[in-house]
Structure formats: structure tokens, C-alpha cells
């Protein structure tokens, strides 16, 4: 295994050299900064080894925001390239790499961590628990995700980017047609991150089933907790499929097997089949928690309980079940015959029914309410019309025969951005504006928030609405250029301009974070929105033990009920007992490094090195098996002191949006 540095860091491409320099400089900057501020110890004890679900949530969110930058930059580059016909800004190879990384990063390394991050922050609090069921596993999940994300991201500057689309269709993605190592990154990095996600799924299922506080029956759970639970069920049912599909892909690429190859009996259709068996549930994995966030936000800012709570629950369960039986709608054109296509057309269209139930329930939650136009609520409001368009075009795609004309055109690209951006990105923004005070003890600036909102929503529609028409005119996806004669030019330009506005919106959001961290008022209520669920019953930012003692729940919207009836709000000091907490652990972080290294060696096909490095994985597992750490206890006095302090400060609060 000779190592050729020239080929590893191909030094002949300005774009890539630029990125390499930027990465090196940023890394040096960060290391120097931390050293200068003497923050290494703090970083290690407070963050890298933490098992606190709230901190893990914050780390997920930070990674998600960073990945949004990367994915967004990819999106902007693509828009720049197709702004005019026959542009020479990117060549075909670059464009292919960029849409591949854009798709993967946006879905797996942006949407997933953002939502899992918010789950981590909110769900244990919403059910009145001290932490998740397996705090250390939770940390490991995060660090595996992180290892996968980092491994995937270095592909742009080391060794070559994957370039077979986020759908990674074989045989193109196999060694027969892409012999470079670029596509190895996809198979290996997604595998590592996927294992992390699977463990998150198991962790939250157990947490939600077993760790609800007294009186919180399933039908009293906040809607975000419900969607998290159902999402995790889908994760557990879908991610193992990805694990196997990726294992097959890895074997084909690294060891010359014949699962999806052209030669020796392989079948490329099997990849498409397995990919979408996972891939379709995956889009609901990202959409359902988003629906949960909207439910919380809409109920809070309409000052009403969620309309049709029960049918909301049944509809998410319905969506979850249906999501497992629609995968073929992504390849109606593969020629499986009218019987197959008919069945899957029907199952797919049926998803419109439970989704519609949710839509109407949201609308009727607002009816007779008092709708407060905070930034968080604005996102939820914009979601309704935008997602509606994405949804109905989805139903159009679902009609197998019609899909023969839409498939792989920009109509499809418009559809999925119209569901993914309102359905995920809007929700994440809504969630961040909503839970920000809970996470950090200060609010995001509402005025900047509105700028962010309007720029982003207008830019989004301007970018993607023209794509419906482009698709109907015959413009295809994944094409790096188009001819002037095609008549696509105006709409493409319009779309590019929209993307700039969109980016400006996101830039305002980043500035908002910066501004708020520096200048926002710290003197705010622990319940600034007059909200309804238990996470608002404790301090902001939340004490590391969450609750002094676990609250008792009597109804849905538990905290609202507590406030209205003035029960359980005041601290009952007699109820305070010692609290048992799990200890921090450096093992997850070490495992992240080991997995990253093994993954890197595998990507470069240095099998011996990978085998040796993977001993580290087993060492980690053994170390964990022999770890009998029982955690520690917080003493009563400490709890009392903390509680008295924040409850006293609460009286002097001057910031409350109420």
C-alpha cells in the first residue's frame, strides 16, 4: 500500500487548494484560540466527555449548523453554475461531486443532527426525566455521527469526493465505473454515522417508554415526544437496512464481490430497492420530528391545546406504518410492471390522508386562538402553505403513470425541496427560536429573526418554485449545464437570484446567533413564552439534574395545567432527595477517533492498517464491558441552593413575551 501524497491531496485545483488552506487555517486558529484561552481542560470535562443530554443536544445542533454551511455552500455553487446557460464555473466532475455531497450532507449531516439535537434537548425534559435511558450510549451516538460527518467532509480535500449522487445508484457507484476511492467515503462514512443513529433510536424508545414521570401516560405526552418516539421506531426499522446495503456496497467496492455489479450475476436494481427501503422512511424520519416541533409551537403561540390530539397521534403512527410500504415510488420507471406500480401508487397516495389530518388539526388549533407572531410561530405559519405545495406535488409524483414524465426532472427537485425545507429547515428554525432560551438562558433577537424569516422564505420560494416549470419544460436534475436554445435561461436565473436571498437569510440567522450570544438580555423568565409543556417548568438554562424532584402530571399540557391551577409550581423542599447522576466518560470520544481512523484507512483501502486500528474498537468495547462506574450523587444542600437561587432570580425577571 504505497502512499502517494500527490494523489491523496491533488494539488492542481484552485477550489480544492482553497478549501485545504481554509481548513488548515481554521484548525490552527481553533487550536491556538483554545490554547490561548486555556480552555482545553474545560473543553474536555464540560463537552467532549459529557453525557448530559442537553449538552449533547447542543453539540448536535452546532454540528448541524456547520453542516448547513457546507451543504448550503454546495447549493450556492450549483446555483451559480446553472445561473446562465453553458457556464464554465464548475465542470461536470465538480458539479457531480457537489450535488452528491450536498444531498448527503443536507439530509444525513444537517437535518438528522439538528432534529436529534432538539430531541436531546427537549424530550427528557418534556417527559420529566433526569436524562435519557443510556446517557453514555447517547454520547457514543453523537460521537459516531460526528466521526462519520467529519470523514465524509474531508473527502473534498483528501483523496476525492464521492460523485454518484446521494442515491449512489449502482453500477455507477461500483468499482467498474468509478474506480477512484471517492465513492468509498460514502459507504464508510454513512455506515459509521448510521450506527450512531440506530443507537439513538433505541435509546429514545426506551427513554420514552420507561422514563416518563409519574402520571404521564402515553396519551398525555407532548406531541414532540410522540413524534420523537414514532421517529425512533422508524429509525430502528429502517437503519439496519441501510447498514446491510452499505455493507454490500463496501464489499463490492473494497473486496470485489458481486452484489450490484454488472458482471458475475450482480443486480443493480437490488441497490435501488434496498436504498429506498431505507431512503423513503428516512424522509419521514426527518419530517415527523419537525411536525412535532410545529405542534408545540402552534399550540403555545395560539394559547390553545392541540386540536384533535388523539387523531394527531394516530396519524403519525399511520404515517410511520405507511412509510415502510411505499419505497417503490422512487423507481416506478424501473419496469417492474403495472401491478407493482399500481400497488405502490395507492399506498403512496394514502399518506396524504394522515398528513392532511395533521394539517387540518393545526389549522383548527389556531382557530379561536390568539396567534402571537413570534419568530418561531412565523416559521410554523410559513410551513403550512409551503409544505402544502410540496405535499400536493408529491401526490402528483405518486401517480405512477404521471411520474414517467416527472421522474428525474427538476419538478422532482422542486418537490423535495418544498417538503424538506418547510418540513425540516423551517421546523429547525422554529425549534431553535423556541427552545433557545431553554438551552442558553437568553433569547434570539426577534427583530433579526423576522429579517431572517422573510429573506429566507421569499428566497426559498423564488429558488424552488421556478423549478416546477423547468421540470415540465424538460429540464433534468444533476445536469451541470444546459444550452441557451433550451429556453430554460430565465427561470434558472430567477432561481439563482432566489438562492442568494435565501443565503442572505441564513447569514442573518448566523448574525442573530452572534448578536444574541453577545448582547441579549440574560434576565429572562424560565418560561418566556407562557408555554404548556414540562420543559418550561424548570430553570433556563436547565440545571444539569433537570428537575429538583420529578413533577407529577395530571393532564395533557402538564405545565399549563400546573400554572392555571397553581399546583406544583412552588418548590416543595421536603420532596428533595439526593439525585443520582451518571459520570462523564471519555470513551465515546476515543471511540469516535478510533472509528474515524479505521474509516479513513478503509476508504483508502489500506486493509491491514484498518484491521490493526479496529483492534481499538474491540478494546473500547471490552473497556466498556468492565466499566462498573455507578455515577455519583448530588447532595440535598447543593440542590436546594441551586433551586433557591434561580427561583429567587425569577421574581426579578423583566423579559417575558407574554
Partner 1 sequence: MKKWLISLLAMSSALLSGCQTNMVVFEPQGPVARSIMELINWSLLWMLLVVVVVLTLFGYIVWKYREKKENMNYEPPEEHGSTTLEIIWTAIPILIVTALTVPTVKTLYALENVPAGYESKKPITIHVTSADWKWIFSYPEQGIETVNYVNIPEDTPIDFKLTSAGTMQSFWIPALGGQKYAMNKMETQLYLVADNPGSYFGRNTNFNGKGYAEMEFEVQVKTEKDFDEWVSEAKSSAPKLTEQQYEELLKPTHLGRLTYSNTHLAWVDHSKPDSKSYTNPELYRGHGYPGKIFEEEDNYRSPDAQKDAVQNLENKDAHRGDTHGH
Partner 2 sequence: MSAKVNTSLPLEYQTEQNRLNILGFWIFLGAEIVLFSTLFSGYGVLGERYAGGPVLKDIMVFKDVMIQTLLLLVSSFTCGIAIFEMRRNNLKGLLAWLVITFILGAGFLYMEINEFMHYVHAGATMQTSAAFSSFFLLLGTHGLHVTMGIGWGTMIIIQLLKKGLIPETARKTFIIGLYWHFLDVVWIFIYTYVYLKAMVS
Partner 3 sequence: MEKKANGFPMGHVYGLVLSLLLTFLAAGVVLKTALSFPAVMAIIGTLAILQAALQLFMFMHVTEGEDGKTNLINIVYGVVCAVIIVAGSVWVLTSGHAH
Cβ proximity of 128 and 559 under 8 Å = no
Give yes or no for a contact between 171 and 264, defined as CB atoms under 8 angstroms apart. no
Element (H, E) at 119: helix 112-126
Q: Is 98 in the site for partner 3 (CB under 8 A)?
A: no
* Those residues with Cβ within 8 angstroms of residue 471's Cβ, 6 or more apart along the chain or in another chain: 406, 409, 410, 411, 412, 413, 414
336: contact with partner 3 by CB under 8 A:
yes
Told to check if 62 binds partner 3 by CB under 8 A, we report: no
Q: Which does 630 bind (CB under 5 to 8 A by kind): partner 3, Cu ion, partner 2, none?
A: partner 2
Sign of CA dihedral 94, 100, 103, 109: negative
Q: What part of residues 443-462 is at the interface with partner 1 (CB under 8 A)?
A: 461
Please give the C-alpha separations between residue 487 and each of 2, 23, 221, 415, in angstroms, as whole numbers.
Answer: 50, 40, 53, 21
36 touching partner 2, by CB under 8 A: no
Written in H, E and C, the secondary structure of 444-481 is: CCHHHHHHHHHHHHHHHHHHHHHHHHHHHCCCECCCCC
153 makes contact with ligand HEA (CB under 6 A): no
- Choose from ligand HEA, partner 3, Cu ion, none: what does 320 bind? Cβ within 5-8 Å by kind: none
Rule CB under 8 A: say whether 442 interacts with partner 2. Answer: no
> Of 254, 261, 281, nearest to 169 (Cα)?
261
Judged by beta carbon, residue 112 or residue 151, the one nearer Cu ion is 112
Contacting partner 1 within 67-106 (CB under 8 A) = 91-94, 96
User: Is 312 a residue that touches ligand HEA (CB under 6 A)?
Assistant: no
Applying CB under 8 A, among 23, 270, 336, 504 the residue interacting with partner 2 is 270
Helix pair angle (446-472, 427-440), 10° resolution: 160
Q: What is the largest CA-CA distance in the chain?
A: 80
Q: Are 262 and 178 in contact (CB under 8 A)?
A: no
Strand partners, 580: 633
Q: Which stretch binds partner 1 (CB under 8 A): 53-61, 233-241, 407-415, 534-542?
A: 407-415
Provide the minimum distance between the beta carbon of 314 and partner 1 in the complex, in angstroms, as a whole number.
10
- Under the criterion CB under 8 A, does residue 522 sit at the interface with partner 1? no
Q: Residues 100 to 159: which contact partner 1 by CB under 8 A?
A: 159
Q: Which stretch binds partner 1 (CB under 8 A): 199-207, 229-237, 304-312, 589-597?
A: 304-312
Which CB, 447 or 580, lies closer to partner 2?
Answer: 580
Check binding of 69 to ligand HEA (CB under 6 A): yes
Q: Which is nearer to partner 1, 369 or 620 (CB)?
A: 369
Asked if 323 is part of the footprint of partner 3 (rule: CB under 8 A), the reply reads no
Which residues are bridge partners to 581 per DSSP? 632
Say how far apart CA 601 and CA 610 lie, in whole Å: 5
Q: Please compute, for residue 194, the number of CA atoms within 13 A of its CA located in the half-sphere on the CB side.
A: 22
Binding of partner 3 at residue 376 (CB under 8 A)? no
- The answer to whether residue 280 forms part of the interface with Cu ion (CB under 5 A) is yes
Q: Does 184 bind partner 1 (CB under 8 A)?
A: yes
205-234 residues near partner 3, rule: CB under 8 A: 209-210, 233
Strands in 546-609 per DSSP E: 579-581
Q: 474 is in the binding site of which of partner 1, partner 3, ligand HEA, none (Cβ under 5 to 8 A by kind)?
A: partner 1
* Minimum separation from the CB atom of position 95 to ligand HEA (A): 7
Binding track over 390-409 against ligand HEA, x by CB under 6 A: -xx-xx-xx----x--xx--
Rounded CA-CA distance 318/323 in Å is 8
Considering CB distances under 5 to 8 angstroms, the limit depending on partner class, which of partner 3, Cu ion, partner 1, none binds residue 280? Cu ion
Total residues contacting partner 2 by CB under 8 A comes to 50
Among 112, 151, 502, 524, binds ligand HEA (CB under 6 A): 502
User: How far is C-alpha 171 from the geometric centre of its chain's CA atoms?
Assistant: 29
The nearest distance, CB 272 to partner 2, in angstroms, is 12
Task: Work out what residue 381 binds among partner 1, partner 2, ligand HEA, none; the CB cut-off runs from 5 to 8 Å by kind.
Answer: partner 1
Range 257-296, binding partner 3 (CB under 8 A)? 267, 269-270, 273-274, 277
Kindly report the three-state secondary structure assignment for every residue of 253-284. Answer: HHHCCCCCCCCCCCCHHHHHHHHHHHHHHHHH
Nearer to partner 1, 56 or 245 (CB): 245
User: How far is Cα of residue 602 from the mean position of the Cα atoms in its chain?
Assistant: 26
Of 616-645, binders to partner 1 (CB under 8 A) are none
Whether 444 contacts 524, CB under 8 Å: no
Of 333-341, 366-374, 428-436, 479-487, the segment contacting partner 3 by CB under 8 A is 333-341
Min dist. Cβ of residue 587 to ligand HEA (A): 32
Q: Is the Cβ of residue 278 or residue 362 nearer to partner 3 in the bound state?
A: 278
CB 427 within 8 A of CB 290: yes
Gap between the Cα atoms of 298 and 377, Å rounded: 6
Contacts with 262 (C-beta within 8 Å, 6 or more apart), sequence order: 171, 174, 176, 268
Report if residue 496 touches partner 1, rule: CB under 8 A.
no
372 binds partner 2 (CB under 8 A): no
- Tell me the window of 84-92, 155-163, 207-215, 294-302 that interacts with partner 2 (CB under 8 A): 207-215
Reading phi first (left if > 0) and then psi (alpha if -120 to 50, else beta), residue 128 is in: left
Cβ-contact 468, 393 below 8 angstroms: yes
Does 407 participate in binding Cu ion (rule CB under 5 A)?
A: no
Alpha carbon distance 311, 315 (integer Å): 6
- Contact at 8 Å (CB) between 442 and 514? no
Cα–Cα distance for residue pair 567/550, rounded to 1 Å: 14
* Stated length of the chain: 658
Under the binding rule (CB under 8 A), the answer on residue 337 touching partner 3 is yes
For residues 298 and 374, what is the distance between their CA atoms, to the nearest angstrom? 11
Residues from 84 through 143 that contact partner 2 (CB under 8 A): 130-131, 133-134
Q: Report, in Å, the least distance between residue 114 CB and partner 3.
A: 27
The residues that touch partner 2, with contacts defined as CB under 8 A, are 130-131, 133-134, 198, 201-203, 205-206, 209-211, 236-241, 243-245, 247-248, 251-252, 255-259, 261, 263-267, 270, 274, 277, 580-582, 618, 622, 625-626, 628, 630-631
Amino acid at each position: 500500500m504505497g502512499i502517494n501524497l500527490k494523489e491523496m491531496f491533488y494539488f492542481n485545483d484552485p477550489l480544492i487548494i482553497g478549501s485545504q488552506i481554509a481548513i488548515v487555517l481554521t484548525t490552527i486558529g481553533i487550536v491556538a484560540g483554545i490554547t490561548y484561552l486555556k480552555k482545553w481542560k474545560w473543553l474536555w470535562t464540560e463537552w467532549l466527555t459529557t453525557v448530559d443530554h442537553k449538552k449533547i443536544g447542543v453539540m448536535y445542533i452546532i454540528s448541524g449548523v456547520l453542516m448547513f454551511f457546507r451543504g448550503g455552500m454546495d447549493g450556492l455553487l450549483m446555483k451559480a453554475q446553472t445561473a446562465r446557460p453553458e457556464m464554465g464555473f464548475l465542470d461536470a466532475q465538480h458539479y457531480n461531486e457537489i450535488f452528491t455531497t450536498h444531498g448527503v450532507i443536507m439530509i444525513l449531516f444537517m437535518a438528522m443532527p439538528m432534529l436529534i439535537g432538539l430531541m436531546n434537548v427537549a424530550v427528557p425534559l418534556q417527559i420529566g426525566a433526569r436524562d435519557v435511558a443510556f446517557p453514555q450510549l447517547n454520547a457514543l451516538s453523537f460521537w459516531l455521527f460526528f466521526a462519520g460527518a467529519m470523514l465524509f467532509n474531508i473527502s473534498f480535500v483528501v483523496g476525492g469526493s464521492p460523485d454518484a449522487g446521494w442515491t449512489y445508484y449502482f453500477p455507477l457507484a461500483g468499482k467498474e465505473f468509478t474506480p477512484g476511492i471517492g465513492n468509498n467515503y460514502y459507504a464508510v462514512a454513512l455506515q459509521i454515522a448510521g450506527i450512531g443513529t440506530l443507537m439513538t433510536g433505541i435509546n429514545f424508545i426506551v427513554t420514552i417508554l420507561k422514563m416518563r414521570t409519574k402520571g404521564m401516560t402515553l396519551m398525555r405526552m407532548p406531541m414532540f415526544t410522540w413524534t420523537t418516539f414514532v421517529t425512533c421506531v422508524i429509525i430502528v426499522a429502517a437503519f439496519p437496512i441501510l447498514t446491510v446495503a452499505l455493507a454490500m456496497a463496501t464489499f463490492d467496492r473494497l473486496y470485489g464481490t458481486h452484489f450490484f455489479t454488472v458482471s458475475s450475476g450482480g443486480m443493480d436494481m437490488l441497490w435501488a430497492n434496498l436504498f429506498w427501503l431505507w431512503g423513503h422512511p428516512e424522509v419521514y424520519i426527518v419530517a415527523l420530528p419537525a411536525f412535532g416541533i410545529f405542534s408545540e409551537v402552534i399550540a403555545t403561540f395560539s394559547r390553545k391545546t392541540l386540536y384533535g390530539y388523539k387523531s394527531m397521534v394516530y396519524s403519525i403512527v399511520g404515517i410511520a406504518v405507511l412509510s415502510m410500504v411505499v419505497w417503490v415510488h422512487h423507481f416506478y420507471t424501473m419496469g417492474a410492471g403495472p401491478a407493482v406500480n399500481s400497488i405502490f401508487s395507492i399506498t403512496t397516495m394514502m399518506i396524504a390522508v394522515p398528513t392532511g389530518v395533521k394539517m387540518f388539526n393545526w389549522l383548527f388549533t389556531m382557530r379561536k386562538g390568539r396567534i402571537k407572531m413570534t419568530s418561531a410561530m412565523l416559521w410554523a405559519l410559513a410551513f403550512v402553505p409551503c409544505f402544502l405545495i410540496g405535499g400536493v406535488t408529491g401526490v402528483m409524483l405518486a401517480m405512477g403513470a404521471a411520474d414517467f414524465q416527472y421522474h428525474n426532472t427538476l419538478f422532482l427537485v422542486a418537490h423535495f425541496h418544498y417538503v424538506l425545507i418547510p418540513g425540516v429547515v423551517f421546523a429547525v428554525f422554529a425549534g431553535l427560536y423556541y427552545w433557545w432560551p431553554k438551552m442558553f438562558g437568553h433569547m434570539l433577537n426577534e427583530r433579526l429573526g423576522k429579517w431572517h424569516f422573510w429573506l429566507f422564505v421569499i428566497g426559498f420560494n423564488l429558488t424552488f418554485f421556478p423549478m416546477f416549470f423547468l421540470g415540465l419544460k424538460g429540464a433534468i436534475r444533476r445536469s451541470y449545464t444546459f444550452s441557451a436554445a433550451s429556453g430554460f435561461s430565465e427561470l434558472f436565473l430567477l432561481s439563482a437570484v432566489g438562492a442568494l436571498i435565501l443565503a442572505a437569510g441564513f447569514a442573518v440567522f448566523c448574525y442573530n446567533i452572534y448578536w444574541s450570544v453577545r448582547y441579549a438580555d440574560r434576565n429572562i423568565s424560565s418560561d418566556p413564552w407562557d408555554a404548556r409543556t414540562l420543559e418550561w417548568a424548570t430553570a433556563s438554562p436547565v440545571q444539569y439534574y433537570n428537575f429538583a424532584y420529578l413533577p407529577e402530571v395530571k393532564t395533557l399540557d402538564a405545565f399549563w395545567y400546573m400554572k392555571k391551577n397553581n399546583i406544583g409550581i412552588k418548590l416543595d423542599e421536603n420532596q428533595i432527595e439526593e439525585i443520582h447522576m451518571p459520570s462523564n466518560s471519555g470513551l465515546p470520544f476515543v471511540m469516535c477517533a478510533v472509528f474515524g481512523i479505521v474509516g479513513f484507512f478503509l476508504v483508502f483501502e489500506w486493509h491491514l492498517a484498518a484491521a490493526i486500528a479496529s483492534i481499538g474498537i474491540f478494546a473500547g468495547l471490552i473497556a466498556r464491558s468492565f466499566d462498573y462506574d455507578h455515577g455519583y450523587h448530588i447532595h440535598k444542600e447543593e440542590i436546594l441552593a441551586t433551586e433557591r437561587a434561580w427561583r429567587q432570580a425569577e421574581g426579578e425577571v423583566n423579559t417575558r413575551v407574554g
